[in-house]
Amino acid sequence: MTGPSGPHNGMELGRRHMLRLFGAAGALLAAGGVLAACGGGGQPSAAPSSGAPASSAAASPSRAPASSAAASPAGSAAKPASSGVAGQYVPPATWDQLLAAGKAEGKVVVAAAPDTATRQKLPAAFTKRFGISVDYLPNATDVTARLQAERGAGQFTLDVEVNGPDSVYGTLYPNKWLDPFKSSLLLPEAADPSKWKAGAPWFRDPGGDTALQIFSTVSNNAMINAAQLSASDFPNADALLDPKWKGKIAAFDPSANGAGLAVGSALYLAKGADYVTKLYKGQQVVLTRDYKQLADWLAHGSYPLGLAVPSSYLGPYIKSGLKFVYLDLPDAPNSVGGGFGIVVVLNKAPHPNAARVFANWMATSEAMTVYGQTQDQVPVRNDVNPTWMPPQLIPKPGVKYLNTYDYKFVTQQRLQIRDFYQKMLK
């Protein structure tokens, strides 16, 4: 065999060598006893949540039992059980404990909307309130696309993502890269069910605890340049098929994910396949996948009638005095969606406590106001007055809209409609 002093031929060890072995063993045992008595120098693991508000009482399936914290041997240098990378994450039981643990981690890595205003204002507001810095990654959709390679290489760099349903329902959720966090909504103002229009924090995933939607904004099917057209010319959706509008309509491509498909779906479900074929093909609708270009066409009158034109891109033109009118088509109800408005927490996050502090904050009126203003979106809390939004884009109680952020619609029905448009528009 091979021992600490080199190879041996099976003969008895020398007396001196035996003494050295026993001496080393004794030293190790003594050191282990000291470390065990001191707790190994590690931090105590957080207890599992037990005091969440009633609206957040569902247990997280990713939560480890409290006893799992004792799995590390005495003297181990491993991270405490609260680390998402080293092992299963055990969330603190109270908001104060969660906040303290988040501050100890020091920062949170967040991927969200790509615009400059959000990059500047959202992290600053969070850090000002909680003292936790934010590493902000713009364009969460691109971040999602590279997660497959990163996670395959054992790299876990992202804590929170705020994105749309394509990334959340199509990639993050089915790949099981997310942690449920409903039971970690411990901040009272975030969890208070009376502050939510839905009667509780609005989780949209099948389990009802992982994907939190914070915006719901009307996406108008059609809009006109008021200097060239009149709303009275369009009493209903059928009026869009009048031959005099041929070649005068532009739209965001309904065969691609985005606002174009949302509006295309609303028209398809309300009026049928024959109608949308006559509209998009028969009326020679000009398509683009550039929101700014679509807004420019409408503003300059190149195409005075637009389908799926985002209001946020018309801001500069409205400030300059141009007027646009949303068409109210009673036979083709508008849809609602949420932009970059679904909050999720990544599993194996490098800063799991700070991640949940950030997720709690995104569920507050403060965060929804800051983020809603930069995104031109309507928060789903009833204690936020979205004065920055045109009244036509605020959902009205009692009106039936196509909800384009519904999980079943996104993962089933919408895909079929997108395939229809892709074939029809070839």
- 298: its two tokens: 């409408």
Asked whether the beta carbons of 333 and 219 are under 8 A apart, the reply is no
Q: What is the pLDDT of residues 252-299, one digit of tens each?
A: 999 998 899 999 999 999 999 999 999 999 999 999 999 999 999 999
Q: Which H or E run contains 21?
A: helix 15-37
Where are the domains positioned within the chain? 81-216+339-395, 221-333+409-424
The burial of 314, by beta-carbon neighbours within 10 Å (0-12 exposed, 13-18 middle, 19 or more buried), is given as: buried
- In total, the chain counts a number of residues equal to 426
At 322, the pLDDT band (50, 70, 90 cuts) reads very high
pLDDT at res. 67: 30
For residues 424 and 417, give the distance between their C-alpha atoms in angstroms, rounded to a whole number: 10
Same fold, 81-216+339-395 and 221-333+409-424: yes
At 89, the pLDDT band (50, 70, 90 cuts) reads confident
Listing from the earlier edge strand, what are the strands of the sheet with 249-252? 286-288, 249-252, 305-307, 222-225, 324-326
Q: What is the pLDDT of residues 381-415, one digit of tens each?
A: 999 999 999 999 999 998 889 999 999 999 999 99
For residues 35 and 40, give the distance between their C-alpha atoms in angstroms, rounded to a whole number: 5
For residues 300 and 313, give the distance between their C-alpha atoms in angstroms, rounded to a whole number: 13
Rg (CA), the chain: 28
Which residue type occupies 117? A
Q: Which residues pair with 343 in a beta bridge?
A: 162, 212
Mean pLDDT of 110-118: 95
If one looks up domain 221-333+409-424 in CATH, what number appears? 3.40.190.10
Q: pTM of the entire structure? A: 0.75
Mean pLDDT of 345-355: 98
pLDDT at 38 over 90: no
Mean pLDDT of 184-204: 97
How high does pLDDT run on average in the chain? Answer: 83
- Best CATH choice for the domain 81-216+339-395 from the list 3.40.190.10, 3.90.1150.10, 3.50.50.60, 3.30.450.40: 3.40.190.10
Mean pLDDT of 362-371: 98
DSSP assignment of 122-133: HHHHHHHHH--E
At 87, the pLDDT band (50, 70, 90 cuts) reads low
